[in-house]
């Protein structure tokens, strides 16, 4: 941001300097030539006054006045011969024209002025005054150098000003960025006004939105945690009754064992909900992916076996460690496996494969039901998998993972992608 502000300010000044400087430089060059012609006219007129009209008749050559500013003066007779001063030996076109017409003339390109010398209204000679081209060029270049130095000074001053202003303008935007990052984590703190109305308006709106969002998130997390805590008591009571039933004779052991496994799943889910509600950002601590996948298989294999189905777990060697929270990964895998159990058929496969520095966990089944790719992860009420898959995708995105529908079916395949750069592997 600061670089763009500085670049914009410097570019504007550069365009202004160039836009005004080039025409001004051209004007300066023209002005110097006009000034030179004025000086030549004054020197030639003074010399013409100093030369008596009888010089040609009496053959009495006068002395020309000393010219100023490196001006060359020359006196020519009516036959075009130079008799005094510095200039061409023979009269040039301008001097010839003045001798013929009896009127003054000037040549802007050659920086030359000629004035006739008269006696009783008869032209008896001509004064030629000229400037060396190098003299006027040097004068113009000195002016250009001064202009260039001034332009450099202005540009340098603008650069310093742009540096300070860019910092002053970027600081409020950096504060806005900091406040935006706090949304969902902490309420943006109150800050003094920046003095820029637009930024202050956005800052106030952002802080108000941050307070509302954080308050809503706090209520939701508190509600989730409180609900999970409230569920613990009846679940613990249910577990106690089932364990007491195990001690009695004549009970259906398979039914009680299945019920206890379901209670274990409920308690795991409650603990995960509490963990996710309390900690809304990934911990960044690595965990072995192989362990998480293997535990998911152990949780679900008895459930599928009770309904006459198999759960095959295939783990590739040297799976990476991942930084996603175990609670979130467990819930995502539970949703995917539950989706295969409820809506699929046949054997459910749970495969974990290393892909580059990351990994892919795939859940597939052998059912005949297909999923609409456009609505697979859309939350909807009623019968269907919308709520579970939508929740799983949100959890995956929160953890920096990707949940994709690799094959809509029949034989649905869902992939949980871990795109990380771990420094450890698990087997």
With bands split at pLDDT 50, 70 and 90, how would you rate the model's confidence at 356? confident
Structural domains counted in the chain: 3
Q: Which of residues 227 and 85 earns the better pLDDT score?
A: 85
| pLDDT level of residue 198 (50, 70, 90 thresholds) | low
Ranking 42-51, 84-93, 418-427 by mean pLDDT, the lowest is: 418-427
Indicate which CATH number applies to the domain containing 93.
Answer: 3.30.450.20
Q: Are residues 103 and 130 in the same domain?
A: yes
Is residue 16 domain-shared with residue 109, that is, in the same domain? yes
Q: Are residues 12 and 125 in the same domain?
A: yes
Say yes or no: 189 and 318 in one domain: no
State whether 238 and 275 are in the same domain: yes
Q: Which of 214, 249, 280 is the last residue of a domain?
A: 280
3-state secondary structure the chain: CHHHHHHHHHHHHHHHHHHHHHHHHHHHHHHHHHHHHHHHHHHHHHHHHHCCCCHHHHCCCCCCCCCCCCCEEEEEECCCEEEEECCCCECCHHHHHHHHHCCCEEECCCCEEEEEEEECCEEEEEEEEECCHHHHHHHHHHHHHHHHHHHHHHHHHHHHHHHHHHHHHHHHHHHHHHHHHHCCCCCCCCCCCCCCHHHHHHHHHHHHHHHHHHHHHHHHHHHHHHHHHHHHHHHHHHHHHHHHHHHCCCCCHHHHHHHHHHHHHHHHHHHHHHHHHHCCCCCCCCEEHHHHHHHHHHHHHHHHHHCCCCEEEEECCCEEEECCCHHHHHHHHHHHHHHHHHHCCCCEEEEEEEECCEEEEEEECCCCCCCCCCCCCCCCCCCCCHHHHHHHHHHHHHCCCEEEEEECCCCCEEEEEECCCCCCEEC
pTM (2 d.p.):
0.45
Indicate whether 268 and 287 sit together in one domain.
no
Identify whether residues 6 and 131 lie together within a single domain.
yes
| Domain-embedded: residue 153 | no
Task: Tell me whether residue 152 is in a domain.
Answer: no
Query: Is the CB of residue 125 less than 8 Å from the CB of residue 52?
Result: no
pLDDT band at 227 (very low <50, low <70, confident <90, very high): low
* Position 180 confidence tier, pLDDT thresholds 50, 70, 90: low
92 lies in some domain: yes
Which of 232, 253, 280 terminates a domain? The answer is 280
Domain range enclosing 50: 2-136
Per-residue model confidence as pLDDT tens digits over 235-247: 667 666 676 666 6
Q: Supply the pLDDT for residue 2.
A: 67
Q: Tell me the mean pLDDT in the region 338-356.
A: 86
Q: Report residue 290: phi and psi, to 5°.
A: -60, -40
Is 156 a domain residue?
no
Are 164 and 3 within 8 A, CB to CB?
Answer: no
Q: Do 85 and 72 lie in a common domain?
A: yes
Q: Are 209 and 264 members of one domain?
A: yes
Q: Is residue 249 part of a domain?
A: yes
The whole-number pLDDT of residue 372 equals 79
pLDDT of residue 250: 60
pLDDT of residue 187: 53
336 and 268 in a single domain? The answer is no
- The answer to whether residues 370 and 418 belong to one domain is yes
Q: Is residue 418 part of a domain?
A: yes
pLDDT class of 358 with cuts at 50, 70, 90: confident
Residue 177: inside a domain:
no
**Domain edge (last residue) among 280, 301, 323:** 280
Give residue 400's pLDDT: 82
Q: What is the CATH number of the domain that holds 209?
A: 1.10.287
Q: Which residues of 226-252 are buried (b: 16+ CB within 10 A; e: fewer)?
A: eebeeeeeebeeebeebeeeeeeeeee
pLDDT at 385: 45
Pair 273, 325 in one domain: no
Least confident of 103-112, 161-170, 301-310, 339-348: 161-170
Residue with tokens 């010399």: 47
- pLDDT at 62 exceeding the cut of 70: yes
Of residues 183 and 359, which shows the higher confidence score?
359
Q: Does the residue 166 lie in any domain? A: no
Task: Look up tokens 């609670």; give the residue.
Answer: 327
Determine the pLDDT at residue 398.
Answer: 78
């Amino acid at each position: 941001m600061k670089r763009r502000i500085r670049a914009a300010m410097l570019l504007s000044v550069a365009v202004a300097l160039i836009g005004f400087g080039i025409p001004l430089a051209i004007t300066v060059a023209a002005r110097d030539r006009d000034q030179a012609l004025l000086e030549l006219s004054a020197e030639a007129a003074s010399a013409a006054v100093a030369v008596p009209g009888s010089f040609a008749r009496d053959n009495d050559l006068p002395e020309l006045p000393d010219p100023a500013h490196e001006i060359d003066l020359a006196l020519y007779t009516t036959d075009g011969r130079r008799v005094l001063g510095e200039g061409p030996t023979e009269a040039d076109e301008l001097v010839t024209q003045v001798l013929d017409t009896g009127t003054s003339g000037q040549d802007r390109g050659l920086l030359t002025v000629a004035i006739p010398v008269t006696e009783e209204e008869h032209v008896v000679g001509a004064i030629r005054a000229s400037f060396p081209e190098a003299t006027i060029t040097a004068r113009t270049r000195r002016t250009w150098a001064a202009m260039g130095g001034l332009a450099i000074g202005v540009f340098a001053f603008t650069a310093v000003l742009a540096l300070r202003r860019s910092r002053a303008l970027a600081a409020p935007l950096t504060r806005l960025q900091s406040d935006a990052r706090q949304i969902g984590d902490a309420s943006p703190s109150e800050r003094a006004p920046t003095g820029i109305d637009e930024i202050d308006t956005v800052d106030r709106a952002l802080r108000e939105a941050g307070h509302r969002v954080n308050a809503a998130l706090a209520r939701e997390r508190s509600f989730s945690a409180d609900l999970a805590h409230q569920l613990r008591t009846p679940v613990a009571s249910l577990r106690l009754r089932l364990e007491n039933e195990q001690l009695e004779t004549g009970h259906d052991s398979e039914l009680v064992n299945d019920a206890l496994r379901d209670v274990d799943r409920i308690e795991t889910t409650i603990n995960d909900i509490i963990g996710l509600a309390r900690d809304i950002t990934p911990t960044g601590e690595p965990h072995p992916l192989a362990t998480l996948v293997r535990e998911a298989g152990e949780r679900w294999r008895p459930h599928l076996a009770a309904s006459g189905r198999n759960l095959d777990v295939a783990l590739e060697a040297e799976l990476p460690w991942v930084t996603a929270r175990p609670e979130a990964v467990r819930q995502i895998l539970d949703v995917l496996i539950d989706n295969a159990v409820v809506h699929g058929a046949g054997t459910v496969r749970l495969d974990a494969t290393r892909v580059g520095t990351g990994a892919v966990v795939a859940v597939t089944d052998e059912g005949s039901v297909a999923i609409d790719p456009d609505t697979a992860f859309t939350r909807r009420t009623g019968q269907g998998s919308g709520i579970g898959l939508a929740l799983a995708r949100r959890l995956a995105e929160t953890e920096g993972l990707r949940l994709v529908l690799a094959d809509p079916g029949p034989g649905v395949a869902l992939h949980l992608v871990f795109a990380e750069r771990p420094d450890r592997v698990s087997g």
